Amino acid sequence: MKTNQSQRQVTVVKLHPLCCVEQVSLLMQISRHPRLVEVLGTSFNQNSNYLVNEFCSGKTLQESIKTKALSLTHMRVILLQIVAGMEALHGGGLVHGNLSLENILCLRLEQEDISSTSIKLSDFGLLMRHPAQESSVSSLLPPSPDPPSVSYRRRSPESIRTSTFTAESDVWAFGVVTWQILSDGIEPYSHCSKEDQVKHAILSGVRLSKPSRCPADLWELILSCCQQVAASRP
């Protein structure tokens, strides 16, 4: 493993086959951002490639919001920190590809001390270079088999159709994550028991309904992030 860290707990994440050494090198620089799990090293071989990440104790955001009654103010703080992490990735020309509550780690989430809240984005296994940063003529990354870990529930229509992941599909996923946070962790499209049903619903134009305690400005944010036309998303 290419890391100079010693006697330190780490986690290992398998990389997407399309990911290359240059992208990982860039991520290692970007991941020093306080809202990203730091990448410490890599392991590349003929069969599989892996990221070696810092170990972060604590629960996922999915686990945390189901056990804590968070205020709207607290939710907004969390959303701002998620945005900061995604801006760091996109600013470096990278696409996360798998943003979800399960891939957001809560280092600190105290209801009595909102200012101490600290979350980090994790699981960069689908790390890809944003198409706009590619030197090739193609405007999209080459289609690849759907990674089983990426549910259709957080996939944009164009990502479902083409099996590609872009900054715009990341924005869609952020809209779904925002909806879930405001819905206390409820699974999106919970009325669909199977992934194929979710796929059909999204491609047919079915969208998530407004959470009961969602303020107008955050509902507008969700709607703008989940617009049908990718170029129209913020």
Q: Is the pLDDT of residue 191 over 70?
A: yes
Copy the structure tokens of residue 147.
Answer: 């990674």
Q: What is the C-alpha separation between 184 and 112, in angstroms, rounded? A: 18
- pLDDT computed for residue 131 by the predictor: 57
Q: Is the pLDDT of residue 139 over 50?
A: no
Q: Is the pLDDT of residue 1 over 60?
A: no
Closest CA to 130 of 173, 84, 164: 164
pLDDT digits (tens, 9 = 90+) for 89-119: 999 888 888 899 999 999 999 999 999 999 9
Amino acid letter for position 167: A
Q: What is the C-alpha separation between 3 and 6, in angstroms, rounded? A: 8
The structural domains of the chain, with segments of one domain joined by +, span 58-232
Copy the structure tokens of residue 201.
Answer: 């619903």
Domain 58-232 has CATH 3.40.640.10: no
Residue 29 main-chain phi, psi, to 5 deg: -75, -45
